[in-house]
Amino acid sequence: DAGITQSPRHKVTETGTPVTLRCHQTENHRYMYWYRQDPGHGLRLIHYSYGVKDTDKGEVSDGYSVSRSKTEDFLLTLESATSSQTSVYFCAIAQKETQYFGPGTRLLVL
C-alpha cells in the first residue's frame, strides 16, 4: 500500500457543510494526487501536488481545494459539499512513473 492512509474511511455529511479528507504517506514521495471514482467515469483527477505548497488542478477541480503544508500530508477540502460530490475518493502517490493508491474514503452527501 506504499504507506498511504486516508481518513476518514467513511463519512456522511449534509449539503452545504465543509468537509476535509486527509491523505498521509510515510515515505517522503514528492507527488501526491486526489482522485474521485464514480460508476461509468473511472478515476478522475481532482488535484495533485508536486511538493510542499505546490499544487495544481486536475480535470474535475471545481468545488474542491487542496493544501500541502508538509510532505507527508495532502488535504482535500470540499468548501460546501453538494450531492454531486458523493463519491469514493482515492489518494495516490507516485514512485517514479507508477502511482500507488490508498484505501479510499467513501463520502455520502445528503
Among 28, 42, 53, 62, binds another protein (CB under 8 A): 42
Q: Which residue has the cell 465543509?
A: 18
Regarding 1 and contact with another protein (CB under 8 A), the answer is: yes
Nearest to 88 by CA among 102, 74, 75, 107: 107
Q: Of 72, 100, 98, 102, which is closest to residue 88 (Cα–Cα)? A: 102
Question: Nearer to another protein by C-beta: 56 or 79?
Answer: 56
Kindly tell me which residue out of 44, 65, 72, 86 binds another protein, with binding defined by CB under 8 A. 44
CA gap 33, 43 in Å, rounded: 11
Q: Which residues bind another protein (CB under 8 A)?
A: 1, 31, 40-45, 48, 50, 58, 90, 92, 94, 97-104
